[in-house]
A and B are shown apart, each in its own frame.
Chain A
């Protein structure tokens, strides 16, 4: 246990972001954190609490309120399973500390236990927040006794354990028994495929359910039980017991829940002892790549400008690093699938004919939605792909490279922004332009949308890199940590969401309620975005370069 504790402590310590010595920087960070809490954490918490409240309140009538709790807990477990898989794989197999730790006299289960605890720590901030919020909703609806509170406290701390154990066991089996896995990249490709399959299954499920509203209701809630909860109980059996323990104040159910958790951890550690190190040996660098001869390489060695070379380097690293590729590049090009799914789920008719007819009947409304939609979407997408908000953090251990090469900080900064702007803008308009042409939207609206979208993308791109320059996360173990453990990404998302909500609400009010002409609304939007850009550019010019020059954590 001492070894486990020491390892866990060391691993967790290496995850934490260092605090700036500069008082001004610390104050800025506090303000930004407050904004994110206000715009992301609190809305998510309110949503979870309200959802649980509504479910439990409705189900109390049938005396099956435990199903309401179970349903929310199952969703949280699924959420943990989706995101935990990536975290577990990174911690178990990709972190560089394993190479240092392996020669030590440590048993596989001790190392896995420590790594598992770190994953639990990394993965849990948001989940615990959601669990607590859901329980608050339950307490208000059910007004339970003291035992419920005790069970709830246990649930808050332990709910993610079983899904994370699944991720751990699955990752160890993949590494041990999959011969196709030769290097880190192929493993990460498997993660991407698994996630894609899970998402696809969900899409199919929702499409099937969307076919009949009656079936959908029946699937989730019936007077005796819920087929959804029944099926999910097979995947997460502990949820049934903890939800009964909370809702019905049942001691045996709580004990069974605890036993299931202990069993899951024990099983994972047993599997670790059997296969972990052997699986790790499969993770060898792939050195058998085909290479070109020297003369051919020399032919390709042609001088480029420093600007072009640096830009190419940024793009190569984004595209070749699986964690960056899947999180920063891919989202720019798969968003139409999600938009289609959401529209289908809402049972909108999104056929080309229907959209054309709608455009013919209400061209201004379509124009309004294109203009406002592209602005709001551009703001959110630029933050969501986090290309700019982890641009400095991505440098990691070789941040010092930025400082000793003869390329000005301004140029390096602008190249990083250009990559973010280019990929985001291209990803948005490569789909929207053909869509607008097919629907036959007025070209003027398309041009206005493109201009406003550009201003939105540039604003968030500069904002993102500015935030990341204040306190970049330069100490990280694997590339995924730059995204998952970097608060700057969340801060940028908070600001983007806040701006999008404000602009969307004001724009809609102007157009729909105050009946202001669309082009005037667009003009107002142009001025607002131009001022926001000016502000962030001034701030960047004043402090961005200084932040890089003064950054000494390397």
Chain B
């Protein structure tokens, strides 16, 4: 379970996240949607310990990120918004490096690497430097690396960007499997259809504040006769020409 309570983050004079509270329970997939600059990535960076909140608390499975950061970080699988990471390493070296950092035993990592390599079509690319990969291949490698230690809490920042249809389908299936096994997933996306179909709950954020948190049914019941896209645009004050 992950929980943030009354979290605020300001950059210079800009309040990127404003008194935000959010809970993702075990067994849930929660979609994080909002316009560009709404505060999604900032929130995720505070959840993973990359940014320190000005106020408020972040808890990951009971570990307070400010007091027990290493314990909290150990149980997170995080995909950042950029897949251009350690491009001088080969794919297999990168996966092993991450597996070492998260102390994954030899037999477990071999099994997990094989699963990811098969599902994402990475077999032939593992022995090549990642700088030779396409954007999509790099994104697949980031997904595999983030999940190689089988973390109970997944925090994924736009994980589907750049993935081919098969890999996107596989990742979505894995998210379902993971939540069904009693773990939690928080992921951000700009594709409203994906959020609508995949998530148990939706968080809509705008100007750093959550303007909705609940199930799709709860959302649509508030706006009868409108689809998710229309509701989203209306809630975020976006005018359609």
A residues sitting closer than 8 Å to B (CB atoms) are: 21, 285-287, 289, 291-292, 294, 297-298, 300-306, 308-310, 312-313, 316-317, 320-321, 397-398, 400-401, 403-408, 549-550, 552, 554
Contacts and interface: CB of A to CB of B under 8 A. Distances in A.
Interface stretch (B86-94, B166-174, B233-241): B86-94
B11 A552 contact: yes
A310 B94 CA distance: 11
Nearest to A398: B85
B132 A286 contact: yes
Nearest to B84: A397
Nearest to A286: B132
Interface centre among A289, A306, A404 (most CB of B within 10 A): A404
9 contacts: A21-B12, A285-B132, A289-B128, A291-B127, A300-B92, A398-B82, A406-B101, A407-B70, A407-B101
A399 B84 CA distance: 12
A552 B14 CA distance: 14
Contact of A401 (B85, B96, B123): B85
B101 A310 contact: yes
Q: Nearest 6 pairs between A and B by C-beta?
A: A309-B100, A291-B127, A406-B73, A406-B74, A404-B48, A320-B88
A305 B11 CA distance: 37
Given A285-B132, A292-B127, A398-B86, A550 B52 contact: yes
Interface in B140-161: none
B102 A289 contact: no
A85 to B, nearest CB: 23
A3 to B, nearest CB: 27
B106 A302 contact: yes
A408 B49 CA distance: 12
Contacts of B49: 403-404
A517 B218 CA distance: 86
Nearest to B45: A400
A303 B127 contact: no
Interface string B82-116: 10111011001101110111111110011001100
A293 B49 CA distance: 37
B173 to A, nearest CB: 23
B57 interface: no
Contacts of B104: 303
Interface of B: 11-12, 45, 48-52, 69-71, 73-74, 76, 78, 80, 82, 84-86, 88-89, 92-93, 95-97, 99-106, 109-110, 113-114, 117, 123-124, 126-129, 131-132
Given A287-B128, A297-B126, A398-B86, A309 B105 contact: no
A133 to B, nearest CB: 39
Contacts of A320: 88-89, 129
Given A294-B123, A309-B100, A404 B76 contact: yes
Nearest to B96: A301
Contact of B73 (A309, A316, A405): A405
Interface centre among B69, B103, B114, B127 (most CB of A within 10 A): B127
B73 A289 contact: no
A436 B101 CA distance: 42
A321 B73 CA distance: 29
B125 to A, nearest CB: 8
A300 to B, nearest CB: 8
Given A294-B126, A406-B73, A305 B100 contact: yes
Contact of B51 (A292, A303, A310, A552): A552
Nearest to A554: B50
Contacts of B113: 298, 301
Nearest to A303: B106
B78 A404 contact: yes
A237 to B, nearest CB: 41
A354 to B, nearest CB: 46
A137 B232 CA distance: 70
B46 to A, nearest CB: 11
Nearest to B11: A552
Given A21-B12, A303-B100, A404-B73, A397 B128 contact: no
Given A303-B103, A304-B96, A549-B52, 6 more contacts: A289-B127, A301-B96, A301-B106, A305-B100, A309-B100, A397-B82
B100 A308 contact: yes
A403 B101 contact: no
Contacts of B105: 303
A303 B99 contact: yes
A333 B89 CA distance: 24
B89 A406 contact: no
Contacts of B106: 301-303
B85 A317 contact: no
A306 B97 CA distance: 8
Given A404-B48, A404-B73, A309 B97 contact: yes
